[in-house]
Amino acid sequence: MRLSPAAALAALVLLTLPACFTNKQNQGARLYGQHCAGCHGEQGEGIGQLIPPLAGSDYLAQHPNQLACIVRNGLKGPIKVNGVDYDQLMLGVQDTATHRQLSPAQITNLLNFIESHWGNHPGPAGVRTIAGTEAELRACNQQ
Ligand code: HEC
């Protein structure tokens, strides 16, 4: 059987598209394992009254526009997550290899992973884009 160029292209796109998506999911999952799981748990379950959960977190669901800033700059001071009070310090996260800030693309993939697992959902703006993350990061210090 000979494929027409158009059919060959369509087949190629169909074959490679899922690979792209899986890759991003993998990067998000990998970054989560590297940077967050040690505290928030493999399944986002948190640690008792010390570390709040990310799985099914009402705080996470209610602050979608601040999550990129939390990853980059950390969070401190009293918060309530699913009815439990926390008053701890989370430092901003840096890339383990480069010791630089995580890039907007990395933060995008990481947050898309978190918002599509453990009963979490994307915020009102839907699946995150790099441009959306950049806009959130520019607004960090104005909150
Ligand atoms: C060293 C431990 C530690 C690491 C690593 C860490 N966090 Fe946190 N995180 C905390 C603590 C402690 C708080 C609560 C801060 C407070 O009390 O204000 C928190 C709060 C949060 C919150 C808001 C509350 C909630 O549970 O919804 C989010 C979202 C969050 N972290 C996401 C992340 C993500 C994403 C990563 C990885 C990039 C990460 N954290 C890495 C300790 C950590």
Residue having the nearest C-alpha atom to atom 41 of ligand 1: 36
Q: How far apart are CA 67 and CA 44, in angstroms?
A: 15
Residue 60 Cβ < 6 Å to ligand 1: yes
Decide if 140 contacts 69 (C-beta within 8 A).
Answer: yes
Residue 38 Cβ < 6 Å to ligand 1: yes
Residues 6+ apart with CB under 8 A from 44: 53, 54, 55, 57, 114, 117, 118, 120
Q: How far apart are CA 66 and CA 72, in angstroms?
A: 10
Residue where the block lists tokens 């806009």? 135
Q: What number does the ligand 1 atom closest to the CA of 35 have?
A: 37
Mean per-residue pLDDT of the chain: 90
Q: Please report, rounded to a whole number, the percentage of residues in the chain having pLDDT higher than 70.
A: 84
Residues 6+ apart with CB under 8 A from 58: 81, 82
Residue 86 Cβ < 6 Å to ligand 1: yes
Rounded distance from Cα 64 to ligand 1 centre (Å): 14
| Maximal C-alpha separation, the chain | 66
Length of the chain: 143
Each residue's pLDDT tens digit in the chain (143 positions)? Answer: 566 777 766 665 555 555 555 566 699 999 999 999 999 999 999 999 999 999 999 999 999 999 999 999 999 999 999 999 999 999 999 988 888 999 999 999 999 999 999 999 999 999 999 999 999 999 997 65
Residue 67 Cβ < 6 Å to ligand 1: yes
Residue 53 Cβ < 6 Å to ligand 1: yes
